[in-house]
Amino acid sequence: MQAKAASTGWYMEQWRRWAPLAVLAALCVLVSLFNPNFLTVGNFVRLLNSAAIPVVLCMGATFIILMGSIDLSVEGVVAMTAVVASLLVANDITSYSIGLAAAPVAILIGGAMGFLNGFVHVRLKTPSFMTTLGIGFAGLGIATAVLGGLTVRIADPVFRSLSLGRFLGIPMAVWIALAAFLVALTIQQRTRIGRWIYAIGTDEVTARHAGIPVDRTRILAFVLAGLFYGLGGVLAAAQFGQGHALISQGRLFTTITAVVVGGTALSGGVGSVVNSVIGVFIVVVLANGMVLMGIEPYVQQGVQGLLIIAAVSLALDRSSLAVVK
């Protein structure tokens, strides 16, 4: 009896581990059946390129979701850092032209917004979804207010090459996303912060009793997330060659969908940045497939919404939840 229960648990665990990858593979097969153009090198590079910014954003969001919290400030921070970066490089509004140095500045500003999120959430003890909702909207407001509703155009080809330049035939954005992934993976696997984030997500009370500095870890995780969003903002500005608040539209949705579809549980403690990369590819392949099939682009958010619901309901270990708010 016990052996049977244990083996069902084992199967469940294997299923949870491999399901996202299986979904991705099935999706690829399905799309290529509909449209053979899917399996071309050109389309593959296009897929990688459209996955780059979501991967960077997901690296940050994964740490937050692993703690069982949520970060709804993605769009606000991305918009704000994209606008800051575009105003600091050669552009048609300000006279600054600090070139590539704009990237670290924008990333640090992202980190500062993350710190604000974490600090308010931990010190004022406000739920993370409310805190990040408010601060995220503030970020969007800053992005719009700085420009007064205008759009700033970037006139710095070197900065733009951060996204558009190519190395070995693959856009720079993809290499940067790869680097971001490796950094996130190292943090997750090789540092105490990574371990602590899992511990907090699994059982915060026990983690606290075990002497883990929970508050500091939480704040640091939000700072990390902000730094990744800042990098995402820089890449977005470099890719589109302009900065405005709308540059981040829809990114929160894609980010959360990807993290959740990848198999990271919203309840915390289960998942990894590797899952999130798989999740990003599920979302990107699906979007790409819909374009190839000629489905209207506005349908995508609806499909992503359904994906979130499906993924969360499959992944969540609901036996542990007595009350769902």
Partner 1 sequence: MKAQIQTYLPVIFLAVLVLLVGAYDPTFFSINNFLQVTADTMTLFLMAAGVTFVIMIGGIDLSIQAVASMASCILAAYLARLGILAIPLAVLGGAIAGLAGAIVSTKLRIPSFIATLAVSGVVLSAGYWFSDTRSINIPPDLSARYLSWAVGETLGIPHELWVGFIVMILLSILLQLTPFGRLIRGIGAQEQAVIASGINVDRIKLAAYTLSGALAALAGVVMAARLGSGSPTLANEFLLPAIASIIVGGTAITGGVGSVWRTFVGALIVQVVRIGMTFMGVSVFAQQIVFGFILVAAVAVTMDRSKLLVVK
Among 301, 294, 300, smallest CA distance to 35 is for 294
305 touching partner 1, by CB under 8 A: yes
Cα angle value 71/75/77 (rounded, 5°): 80
Site string for partner 1, 135-154 (x = CB under 8 A): xxxxxxxx-xx--xx-----
41 touching partner 1, by CB under 8 A: no
Task: Please choose, out of 14-22, 81-89, 127-135, 279-287, the segment that lies near partner 1 by the rule CB under 8 A.
Answer: 127-135
Distance CA 264, CA 39 (A): 28
Distance CA 128, CA 252 (A): 15
Residues 56-85 that bind partner 1 (CB under 8 A): 67-70
- Exactly one of 19, 21, 93, 133 binds partner 1 (CB under 8 A); that residue is 133
Q: Which is nearer to partner 1, 33 or 322 (CB)?
A: 322
Among 108, 56, 45, smallest CA distance to 81 is for 108
DSSP for 138-189? HHHHHHHHHHTT--EEB--HHHHHHHH-EETTEEHHHHHHHHHHHHHHHHHH
DSSP letter for 318, please. Answer: G
Site string for partner 1, 242-271 (x = CB under 8 A): -----------x--x---x-----x-x---
CB of 110 to partner 1, least distance (A): 16
Q: Which is nearer to partner 1, 256 or 280 (CB)?
A: 256
Cα angle value 134/137/138 (rounded, 5°): 85
Residues 171-200 that bind partner 1 (CB under 8 A): none
CB of 131 to partner 1, least distance (A): 6
Q: Which is nearer to partner 1, 1 or 323 (CB)?
A: 323
Q: Which residues of the chain form beta strands (DSSP E)?
A: 152-153, 166-167, 170-171, 242-243
Which residues are near partner 1 by CB under 8 A?
67-70, 120-121, 124-131, 133-142, 144-145, 148-149, 204-205, 253, 256, 260, 266, 268, 296, 298-306, 308-309, 312-313, 316, 318, 321-325
